[in-house]
Structure formats: C-alpha cells, structure tokens
Structure 1
Amino acid sequence: MERLRKHIEEIVSVSDHEFEHIKTFFTLKRVRKHQFLIHEGDEVKYEFLVLSGIFKVFYVDEHGKEYILQFAKENWWMSDYPAFFKAQKADMFVECIEAGEVLVSTLESREKMSSDIHKMDQFFRVKLTNGYVALQQRIRSLLTSNPQQRYEEFAMLYPDLMQRIPKKLISEYLGVSRETLSRLYSK
C-alpha cells in the first residue's frame, strides 16, 4: 500500500490518518499472464491501478480484428471507462500480458473517497485530465503521423515498454504490420 500512497502524493499530500481511510477503498489482486480483468459483455464495476505488470485494453471488431487502445504499466489506471462511468456492459477487454498486481476499486468507492477526503477529488480530477490528454494525443498521432513517426514517438515516450511488450502487440497498438515494425525496429 505504500506504492499507493506514493502514487497519490505525486499529486496531493495526505496525512497518515487520511491514508488509513483511503486504503479501505482498495483491494489487492494478483493477476496471471493472459488473465482477463474485463471481458466484452461484463458488467464493469471496477477500475484498476497497476502496481506491477503490464496490461492491455482492447476491443475486437465484428470481423475479429483486435484494436489495442491502451497499454497500462505501473502507476497507470485502466478499465473500460465508458462502461465503468455509465454503468453499462463492457465492449472492451482488459488482459494481463505480464503477470502483476493491481489495486481494485469501484466507482462508489471513488466517489465516497472524494467526498470524505476532498484532496482525493483533486487527485482523481488530475488523473482523469491527464488520461484524456494522453488519449487525444494518441488519436492525433494515429490520424496525422506516419508509421515511422508513431514508432519513434512510442519508443521515446515508453522506452521500457519496448523491452517488455511483444513486438506483435506493439505493431497492433501502432496500427502497422509486424513486418513494418520489424523494419522500423531495425533502423
């Protein structure tokens, strides 16, 4: 739980008493490689903070093609957020690609935590804003960058992921073929 406190205190400071209360809203879950946290069609009750490991958030179209929306590593939050916030069924999957641990929390817990400790409202607002900014940057990159530029941007932003994620998944995330990624990787 100290990792949680450190993560929170990157944005807001909390007292020992406040943190003791905050901890009650989270449950630790160990996750095996290839284990799913969310399947398409699930009721999405949880969001997850990655403590260790790597996860992917993706959807599958009607032709069976997989589209990776997000990788999540240590200190990143993930869920099927449209379903999480709107109490809808999932249309995405969350799968573990490197075994690890996550902290699990509900929307009700988030709201109660924010109500009880107003600093947490600020914490979640900053996290949500940062996630939204990252998502818009990713969309813009997909729309306006060529494969070489997308690859270089990914390698610059996430050099550690280049070593931890299979190249097949990186190519799917970047929207390029495995062969194109191999050519870019060899440059």
Structure 2
Amino acid sequence: MNELRKHIEEVTSITDEEFDYIKTFFTEKKVKKHQYLLQDGDKVSLEYWIIKGIFRAFYIDKEGKEHIVQFALENWWLSDYNAFFNEKESGINIVCMEDAEVLCLTLSGREQLAAELHKMEHFFRMKLTKGYSAQQCRIISLLSNNPKKRYEEFASLYPNIMQKIPKKYIAEYLGVSRETLSRLYSNY
C-alpha cells in the first residue's frame, strides 16, 4: 500500500491518519497473465489501480475484430469508465498481459472518499482530467496522423513498454498492419 500513498502524494499531501482511512477502501488482487479483469457484458463494479503489470483494454466489433482502446501500466487507473460511472455492463474487455497486482476500489468507496476527504476529491479529479486529456490526444492522433507519426508518438510516450508488448498488439493499437509496424520499427 505504500505505493498507493506515493501515488496519491504526487497530487496532494495526506497525513498518516488520512492514509490509514483511505487504504480501508481498497482490496488487493493478484492477476495472472491472460486473466480477464473485465469482459464485455460484465457488470462493472470496480476500478483498478495497477501496482505492477500491464493490461490491454479492447472491444470486439461485429465482425470479430479486436480494437485496442488502451494499454495500462504501473501507477495507472483502469476500468470501463463509461460502465463504472453509469453502473452498467461493460462494453470492453480488460486482460492481463503479464502477471500483475492491482488495488480494487468500488464506485461507492470512491464517492465516499471524495465526499469525506476534499484531498481525495481533488486527487480523483486530477487523475480523470489527465486521463481524459490523454484519450483526446490519442483520438486526434488516430484521426490526423499517418502511421509513422502515430508510431513515433507511441514510442516517445511509452518507451518502457515497447519491448514488453507483442508487436501485433502495438500494431492494433496504432491502427496499422503488423507488416507496416515492422517497417516502422526497423526505421526507428
């Protein structure tokens, strides 16, 4: 749980007493490689903070093609947020790409923490703002950049995961074929 405290304190300082209270809202879970945190159609009751590991969030279209929404690494928050905040079924899948550990938080726990501790309301707001901003940048990149530029952005933003994620998933994430990715990768 010390990692969680460090993570929170990147945004706001908290006392020992506040952290003792905050950590009561979290449960720890170990996740094996290829294990799903969420599957399309599941009721979404948790969000996850990743202690260690890598996850892939994706949806499958009507033709059965997988579309990667995001990768998530250590210190990232992850869920199907549309389903989580609206208390409905998931429209995406989240699968573990290597053995991992996460902390789980319920929506009611999150809301209680935010209501009782202004510092946590501020923390959650800052994390959502940053996540929304990153998502918007990704959408704009997919709509306006060529494959080379998308690859360069990905490599620049996430150099620590380039070797950890199979190339086929990076290609899916970037919206290019595996062959195109190989050409881009060899030129980088």
Q: Same fold (TM over 0.5)?
A: yes
Deviation of the 1:159 alpha carbon:
0.2
Match of 1:172 in 2: 172
Q: Residue type matched to 2:52 in 1? A: S
Q: Distance in 2 between matches of 1:181 and 1:161?
A: 15
Q: Distance in 1 between matches of 2:126 and 2:6?
A: 15
Deviation of the 1:151 alpha carbon:
0.3
The yes-or-no answer on 1:4 pairing with 2:4 is: yes
Match of 1:77 in 2: 77
Q: Distance in 2 between matches of 1:15 and 1:70?
A: 33
Match of 1:32 in 2: 32
SS of 1:119's equivalent in the other structure is helix
Q: Distance in 2 between matches of 1:114 and 1:83?
A: 19
Identity rate of aligned residues, in percent? Answer: 59
Q: Map 1:1-187 onto structure 2 (within 5 A).
A: 1-187=1-187
Deviation of the 1:116 alpha carbon:
1.6
Q: Residue type matched to 2:114 in 1? A: S
Which whole-Å deviations, capped at 9, do the CAs of 1:81-122 have from their partners, x for residues lacking one?
Answer: 100000111110010011110000011000101112110000
Q: Residue type matched to 1:148 in 2? A: K
Corresponding pairs, count: 187
Which whole-Å deviations, capped at 9, do the CAs of 1:8-52 have from their partners, x for residues lacking one?
Answer: 000000000000000001000000000000010100000000110
Deviation of the 1:163 alpha carbon:
1.1
* TM-score with structure 1 setting the length: 0.99
SS of 1:42's equivalent in the other structure is coil
Which whole-Å deviations, capped at 9, do the CAs of 1:103-160 have from their partners, x for residues lacking one?
Answer: 0001100010111211000000000000000000000000000000000000000001
Q: Residue type matched to 1:169 in 2? A: Y
SS of 1:37's equivalent in the other structure is strand
SS of 1:163's equivalent in the other structure is coil
Measured on the aligned residues, the alpha-carbon RMSD in Å equals 0.5
Q: Residue type matched to 1:136 in 2? A: Q
* TM-score with structure 2 setting the length: 0.99
- Uncovered stretches (5+) of structure 2, i.e. residues with no partner: none
